[in-house]
Structure 1
Amino acid sequence: MAVKCLCGAKARVRSTKLLSEQVTNLYCACSDVFCGHTFVITQSFSHSINPAKQASDGAVFELLQNMCEKDRMQLFNRFLSVPAN
């Protein structure tokens, strides 16, 4: 992640502080020695565009686990009857 100072020069993240699972403070310093600005950026998670595969795989596995054997077998048979692309 590229961070820029208000002066337009590149800045470096010197340290971070985790505020919560989804919010972090980034402590930054300008790389321009004539500026010397230090500042904090608050970074937060907004939303997923494409959910993580692990999360969706886990949800599918849990749903399959909670199905009765008959319904699970019907679902598998329907899946096997779909032609491959």
Structure 2
Amino acid sequence: MARTTDIYCTVCNSKSVIERSERIHSEFTRYYCACKNPLCGHRFVMNMEFGHTTRASKLTKDKLLELVLGKLSDEEKANLRKILDDEKSR
């Protein structure tokens, strides 16, 4: 289930909208916001940054595995298959 975040004005606490965003880095985005309360009209910038990983991505593991396996010789791959088969039969 997807979640959305409401943004509130820091002056009047009314809901605000993001008017534009500026991606500074893959882990940092700057949001330019405007208060929806016409009596307030406050405009402000909010920053969102990546904090830390709580569960590693399966894609990351797969890409890492592809990279490592791609660098192995045919003989090394055969040895790895043998090790995995032996482990599987335990």
TM-score by length of 1: 0.75
Show CA shifts across 1:25-82 (max 9, x none).
1000112222221100011122222233222211101111122323322322343452
Q: Which runs of 5+ in 1 are unaligned?
A: none
Question: What does residue 37 of structure 2 align with?
Answer: 32
Code of the aligned partner of 2:58: K
Match of 2:56 among 35, 51, 67: 51
Question: What does residue 7 of structure 2 align with?
Answer: 3
Q: Which runs of 5+ in 2 are unaligned?
A: none
TM-score by length of 2: 0.72
Alignment of 1:9-24 (within 5 A): 9-24=14-29
Question: What does residue 75 of structure 1 align with?
Answer: 80
Return the alpha-carbon distance in structure 2 between the equivalents of residues 31 and 78 of structure 1: 63
Return the alpha-carbon distance in structure 1 between the equivalents of residues 44 and 67 of structure 2: 45
Identical-residue share of aligned pairs (%): 23
